[in-house]
Amino acid sequence: MIKLQEITDPNSCLLRARMDEWLFVLIGRDSCAPETIRFWVTERIRTGKNSAHDTQIAEALAVASAMEAARAETAVRYKTDEPPKPI
């Protein structure tokens, strides 16, 4: 989810988190983020927390793909074979 959407959607994970709850944020320019999300999806399904057809899983996979597409688009925009440097 785009940052603005995340902080304005009352149903977002960020805003549903308890005030004393730990969070870990992945940002789109981190080249490891899409694969990390896919690993999380695999673990959620493996441990029975989600099924492969859950909305939460579909949304997570869509975010991973969107992150990759945005990195590729940025590389084209700046006419380079290299995507932006990861953080």
DSSP state of 74: H
Average pLDDT of span 57-68:
96
Assess if residue 18 is contained within a domain.
yes
The domain in which residue 37 lies consists of 3-77
**Pairwise CA distance, residues 54 & 32, whole Å:** 24
Are 41 and 57 a contacting pair, CB within 8 Å?
A: yes
How many domains does one find in the chain?
1
Closest among 11, 12, 30, 14 to 22, alpha carbons compared:
14
Q: Is residue 50 part of a domain?
A: yes
Which pLDDT belongs to residue 34? Answer: 97
- Give dist(CA 73, CA 54) in Å, integer: 29
Evaluate whether residue 38 is within a structural domain.
Answer: yes
- Average pLDDT of the chain is 89
Residue 59 placed within a domain:
yes
**87 belongs to a structural domain:** no
SS3 56: helix
Band (85; pLDDT cuts 50, 70, 90): low
Is residue 14, in this structure, part of any structural domain at all?
yes
pLDDT confidence bin for 74, thresholds 50/70/90:
confident
CA dist 43 and 27 (Å) reads 20
Question: Is 83 a member of any domain?
Answer: no
Task: Tell me the pLDDT tens digit for each residue of 26-60.
Answer: 999 899 999 999 999 999 999 999 999 999 999 99
Whether 26 is in a domain gets the answer yes
